[in-house]
Chain A
C-alpha cells in the first residue's frame, strides 16, 4: 500500500509541478488518444519523473506543498495521474500570454495559447485553474495590482467566451511582485507583463 501511495504521489507530483510552474512553460499532456506505440517503459518514465520532481522541488518547495492536497491524493489524484500519463504523449503546453505596456487587452499573438488552453480544459472537465496576472516593474505598485487583475480577467474572459465554465477559473493579481527576471531591459519587461496558468483547488 505504501508503495502504491508513493507511486501515486509521484504522478500527482508531476502533474502539479507541470501545471504550477509560474515562470516556465510546462508540459501538460492531453487526455485524449494516447498512442500505445509511443508509450515508454514505465521504469524509464519513473526515472525521468523523479528527476523532474527533484529539480523542481529545489526551485519551488513552498508551491509544491501548497498544490498537493489530500483530495488530490485520493480520488482526484487518480484521475490526475491518468491524464498526466496520457498527456505525456502529446506535449500540450500551457504557455504564458503577454501584454503590451500599460495594456490588458488580449493580443493577437496570445490567442493560439488561449485557444489551446480552452481546448485542453474542455477535455479535462474536472480540472480547475488559477490565472495569475503580472506586470513589469515600471508602474506604481498599487496600480500594477489592478493592472495585473485586469490582465488575468482578460485571459479568463477569453476562456469563458470559448465555452469554459467560469467556476473553473480563479484569477489573482500579483502586480509586479513576482517577476520572472529583474533586468532593466525591454525583453525582460515584456516577459514579466504576462498572465500564466496554475493549478486551481
Chain B
C-alpha cells in the first residue's frame, strides 16, 4: 500500500520518549531479524491442522517446552509459553509432566550479542517434526524473537497467523493530560508516542505504519497523523469545532466526525487530509465512525433517535439503518476483522459493559460484568478483544478472548490507562 502524505509541516515539537536506550540497535536488528526470517526458513510443514480454533468444543492441546544452550534460552521459552498459554488453545505442561502431544524445543547460542535460536516442533502422536527453523536476532530484541517463534508455532498448529508481534496503542491519564502510548500485545515494551495536548480517538492505518488521532491543543481539536517509523507528526484536518478521527478503510480513506458546520457530523477524507466529504446531516450528534473491514459500510453513533445508538450506513452515506435497540446508551462500535460482528459499549444498570452483536442474526452477547468496561478493539485475527476496565479500582487496559474469557490486565496497577486500539499484523 502506498501512502503519500503531503502535509503542512508542524512547528509543534513532538516529544518522543523511547523505552530503551538501545532503540537504534533494536531497529537495526529488527531488520536483521526480518532478513533472517525470510532466508533461514528451512523446513517442513504439514497441511494438517492440529487445532481447529473455530470449533466451539475446543480441546486444549497439551504442549511441553524444553530449552537448551545459553541461559537466555529460558527467557525465550518463558515468553513463548506465556504467548501460547494466553491463546487458551494450548495447555503448556510443566517440565517432566507427561501427556504432551506436541513438544517445542528451543536451542540458543549467543555470540557477539547475536542470538541464534534453533527451534524444533515435534508431533509426538505421529512422531514427526512439523517445524524446524533457525532464527538470528540481536540480543536487544529477544522479545521480538520470542514472539516470532510463537507466531511460527501457532501457524503450524492452527493454520492461522498469530498476533504475538502485534502492538496496542492506548492512552494514559496523568494529571488530566492524555498521552498516546504503544506496547506489545502482552503489555511489555511500553513506549510514549505523543505527549502533547489532550489526545484522543487514535486509529491505526491498515499497514500499521501510522496512527491518526485527535488532539486538543490551545483550545482547538484537530486531527493529526504520526509516522511510526520516524515519528513525524503532521496535521491532517483542522477546522473550528470538534474534529475526532475515526477508522481507516482498507484503501486508506479516513472516516471522522467534525462539528465545523455546527453539529458533529460524519465525514470521510483521503489519507493526506484532502477531499473531505460530509456523509450525514442531522441536528444531533453523529460521531465515532468506523469502516467495515471490506470498506463498504460505516458504523457510527448517533442520537438522532433520542439516545446514543449505533447505526450502519453505506460508505457513501446512503441506506442508514439503526443497529442497536437494547437500552438507551450504545456507543464505541468496532467491527470484528471478518466483518460479521460489531462489538460496542452498552449501558446496563448504570455501568458500561462490552457487548457483541452478530450482524446476521442481531443476536447480542454481553462479554463483561464487573465494573465499567469500555473501548473494545479486536485483535487482527479476531480471537481477542482489548478494552479498558475499572474493575480493580483504577482504569487500565485489559485483553480477553473474543468470547469474554481469559481476562488479563496489561497495564500496571498504578497507571490510569484506557482506550486500547489493537494494531493490524505488523511486519
Which residues B398-427 have CB closer than 8 A to chain A?
418-419
From known contacts A146-B257, A147-B285, infer whether A140 and B374 are also in contact, taking CB-CB under 8 Å.
Answer: yes
Q: Which residues of chain A are near B200, meaning CB under 8 Å?
A: 141-142, 145
Q: Which stretch (A7-15, A91-99, A171-179) binds chain B?
A: A171-179
Q: Which residues of chain B are near A114, meaning CB under 8 Å?
A: none
Contact indicator per residue, chain A 138-176, by CB within 8 Å of chain B (1) or not (0): 111111011101100100000000000000001111100
From known contacts A149-B242, A150-B263, A171-B241, infer whether A140 and B352 are also in contact, taking CB-CB under 8 Å.
Answer: yes
Q: Which residues of chain A are near B178, meaning CB under 8 Å?
A: 177
| Interface contact A146-B287, CB-CB below 8 Å | yes
| Interface contact A102-B308, CB-CB below 8 Å | yes
| Interface contact B216-A141, CB-CB below 8 Å | no
The one of B219, B308, B418 that contacts A172, using a Cβ cutoff of 8 Å: B219
| Residue B86 at the chain A interface, CB threshold 8 Å | no
CA distance A33 to B54 in the complex (A): 79
Q: Which residues of chain B are near A102, meaning CB under 8 Å?
A: 307-308, 328-329
| Residue A130 at the chain B interface, CB threshold 8 Å | yes
Q: Which residues of chain A are near B352, meaning CB under 8 Å?
A: 138, 140
CA distance A149 to B129 in the complex (A): 61
Q: Which residues of chain A are near B307, meaning CB under 8 Å?
A: 102
CA distance A139 to B242 in the complex (A): 17
Which residues B253-273 have CB closer than 8 A to chain A?
257, 259, 262-264
CB distance from B348 to the nearest CB of A (A): 12
- Chain A contact residues (Cβ within 8 angstroms of B): what range? 20 to 34
| Interface contact A146-B244, CB-CB below 8 Å | yes
CA distance A178 to B178 in the complex (A): 12
Residue of B at shortest CB range from A152? B242
The one of A138, A142, A147, A174 that contacts B350, using a Cβ cutoff of 8 Å: A138
| Interface contact A153-B288, CB-CB below 8 Å | no
Contact indicator per residue, chain B 151-190, by CB within 8 Å of chain A (1) or not (0): 0000000000000000000000000101000000000000
CA distance A102 to B284 in the complex (A): 12
| Residue B150 at the chain A interface, CB threshold 8 Å | no
CA distance A149 to B257 in the complex (A): 12
Q: Which residues of chain A are near B249, meaning CB under 8 Å?
A: none
| Interface contact A140-B242, CB-CB below 8 Å | no
| Interface contact B244-A145, CB-CB below 8 Å | yes
The one of A130, A141, A150, A170 that contacts B419, using a Cβ cutoff of 8 Å: A141
Q: Which residues of chain B are near A142, meaning CB under 8 Å?
A: 200-201, 244, 287-288, 331-332
Residue of A at shortest CB range from B284? A150
| Interface contact B285-A150, CB-CB below 8 Å | yes
Q: Which residues of chain A are near B219, meaning CB under 8 Å?
A: 130, 170, 172
Residue of B at shortest CB range from A179? B176
CB distance from B334 to the nearest CB of A (A): 12
Q: List 8 A-B contacts (CB under 8 A).
A: A142-B287, A142-B288, A142-B331, A142-B332, A145-B200, A145-B244, A146-B244, A150-B264
